[in-house]
Structure 1
Amino acid sequence: MSFVRTVLGDIEPERMGVTYSHEHVIIEESFPTLGNPDFLLNDVDKVAEELSRVYEAGGRTMVDTMPANCGRNVLKLAEVARRSGIQLIAPTGIHLEKYYPPNHWRYAYSEDQLTRLFIADIREGIDAHDYNGPLVERTPYRAGLIKLATGDDPITPHQEKIFRAVVNAHRETGAPILTHTNAGKQALEQAERFHELGADLEHVVLSHVDRRPDPDYHRAVLETGVRLEYDSGFRWKPGEPNGTYQLLEALLPEFPDRLTVGMDAARSNYWQSYGGKPGLTWLLTTFLDDLKSRHLDSYIKNLFIDNPKHLYTFTQRTPQLPNP
Structure 2
Amino acid sequence: MTQVQTVRGPVESSALGVTLMHEHLFVLTSDVQANHPEEWGSEDARVADAVERLRGAHDAGVRTIVDLTVMGLGRYIPRIQTIAEATELNILVATGVYTWDDLPFYFHHRGPALGPEVPDPMVDMFVGDIRDGIAGTGVRAGMLKCAIDEKGLTPGVERVMRAVARAHLETGTPITVHTHPASHTGRDVKRVMCDEEGVDPGRIVLGHSGDTTDCDHLAALADAGFVLGMDRFGLNLDTTFEARAKTLIEMVRRGYGDRMVLSQDASCYLDWIDPAALELLPQWRYTHLFEDVIPYALEQGLTREQFDLMLTEVPRRFFELGRACS
Using the size of structure 2 for normalisation, the TM-score is 0.83
**Contact 2:233–2:241 (CA under 8 A) maintained in structure 1:** no
CA distance, structure 2, for counterparts of residue 228 and residue 33 of structure 1 = 33
**Contact 1:24–1:265 (CA under 8 A) maintained in structure 2:** yes
Q: Which residue of 2 aligns with 1:257?
A: 258
Deviation at 1:205, TM superposition (A): 0.2
Deviation at 1:231, TM superposition (A): 2.4
SS across alignment from 2:26: coil
CA gap 1:40/1:106 in 2 versus in 1, 3 angstroms = farther
Q: Which residue of 2 aligns with 1:167?
A: 165
Q: Which residue of 1 aligns with 2:95?
A: 92
Q: Which residue of 2 aligns with 1:294?
A: 300
CA gap 1:304/1:184 in 2 versus in 1, 3 angstroms = farther
Pair 1:311 & 2:312 matched: no
**Contact 1:231–1:264 (CA under 8 A) maintained in structure 2:** yes
Q: Which residue of 1 aligns with 2:134?
A: 126
Q: Which residue of 2 aligns with 1:140?
A: 138
Q: 110, 123, 138: which one pairs with 1:115? A: 123
SS across alignment from 1:4: strand
The runs of 5 or more residues in structure 1 that have no matched partner are 128-137, 320-324
CA distance, structure 2, for counterparts of residue 66 and residue 228 of structure 1 = 19
CA distance, structure 2, for counterparts of residue 167 and residue 40 of structure 1 = 34
SS across alignment from 1:308: helix
CA gap 1:318/1:208 in 2 versus in 1, 3 angstroms = same
Number of residues paired by the alignment?
302
Identity %: 25
SS across alignment from 2:311: helix
The runs of 5 or more residues in structure 2 that have no matched partner are 112-118
Q: Which residue of 1 aligns with 2:228?
A: 228
CA gap 1:46/1:109 in 2 versus in 1, 3 angstroms = farther
Using the size of structure 1 for normalisation, the TM-score is 0.84
Give the alignment's Cα RMSD to 1 decimal: 2.9
Runs of 4+ residues deviating >4 angstroms: 31-34, 39-42, 237-241
Counterparts of 1:1-324 in structure 2 under 5 Å?
1-31=1-31, 43-97=46-100, 104-110=105-111, 111-127=119-135, 138-185=136-183, 186-196=185-195, 197-236=197-236, 242-253=242-253, 254-266=255-267, 268=269, 277-278=282-283, 279-297=285-303, 298-313=305-320, 315-319=322-326
Deviation at 1:266, TM superposition (A): 4.0
**Contact 1:32–1:71 (CA under 8 A) maintained in structure 2:** no
